């Protein structure tokens, strides 16, 4: 089963942090998950980030997606009419299953959407109860 995992700090700061900054942290990396033809497909919103600044890592059944930004906008440099800088990192992890291998994962990035697909983990059949005979 595919389960998005919340970051420790999301739970720790909760609503107080969100209301202080006037935004919700969960607006970053919003994810749509679709099951199609034996695969899971994740569509993750990462607007404003460049493909080369997005990393995908698989470890212990978790897929970690991290995006880094280092952007400076200057208008009329000498007069400082307007300047903006954005430096940030956002990340999110998803449990994909212990049997998913790196070579099973396909990813592409277009128009601020990172699309990742991988095979759905096969459920092992649970054998019905078998009773052990007790000898004399």
Number of domains in the chain: 1
Q: Tens of pLDDT along the chain (136 residues)?
A: 555 555 444 443 444 444 444 444 456 789 999 999 999 999 999 988 889 999 999 999 999 999 998 766 655 666 777 777 777 888 999 999 889 999 999 999 999 999 999 998 766 555 667 777 777 7
Query: Which pLDDT score, from 0 to 100, does residue 114 have?
Result: 96
DSSP string, 27-95: GTT-EEEEEETTEEEEEEE-TT--GGGEEEEEETTEEEEEEEEEEEEEESGGGTSEEEEEEEEEEEEEE
Residue 131 lies in a domain: no
Residue 18 lies in a domain: yes
Query: Which pLDDT score, from 0 to 100, does residue 132 have?
Result: 72
CATH number of the CATH domain containing 58: 2.60.40.790
- Residue 6 burial (CB count, 10 A): 12
| 17 in Cβ contact with 8 (< 8 Å) | no
Residue 44 lies in a domain: yes
Residue 87 lies in a domain: yes
Query: Which residue range(s) make up the domain with 7?
Result: 3-119
Query: Which pLDDT score, from 0 to 100, does residue 14 have?
Result: 44
Residue 132 lies in a domain: no
Residue 128 lies in a domain: no
Residue 129 lies in a domain: no
Residue 126 lies in a domain: no
């Amino acid at each position: 089963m595919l389960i998005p995992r919340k970051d420790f700090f999301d739970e720790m700061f909760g609503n107080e942090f969100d209301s202080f900054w006037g935004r919700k942290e969960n607006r970053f990396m919003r994810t749509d998950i679709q099951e199609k033809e034996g695969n899971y497909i994740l569509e993750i919103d990462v607007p404003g980030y460049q493909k080369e600044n997005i990393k995908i890592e698989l470890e212990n059944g978790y897929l970690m997606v991290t995006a880094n930004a280092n952007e400076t906008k200057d208008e009329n440099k000498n007069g400082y009419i307007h300047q903006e800088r954005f430096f940030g990192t956002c990340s999110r992890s998803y449990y994909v299953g212990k049997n998913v291998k790196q070579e099973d994962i396909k990813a592409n990035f277009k128009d601020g959407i990172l699309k990742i697909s991988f095979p759905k983990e096969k459920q092992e059949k649970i054998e019905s109860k078998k009773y052990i005979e007790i000898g004399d």
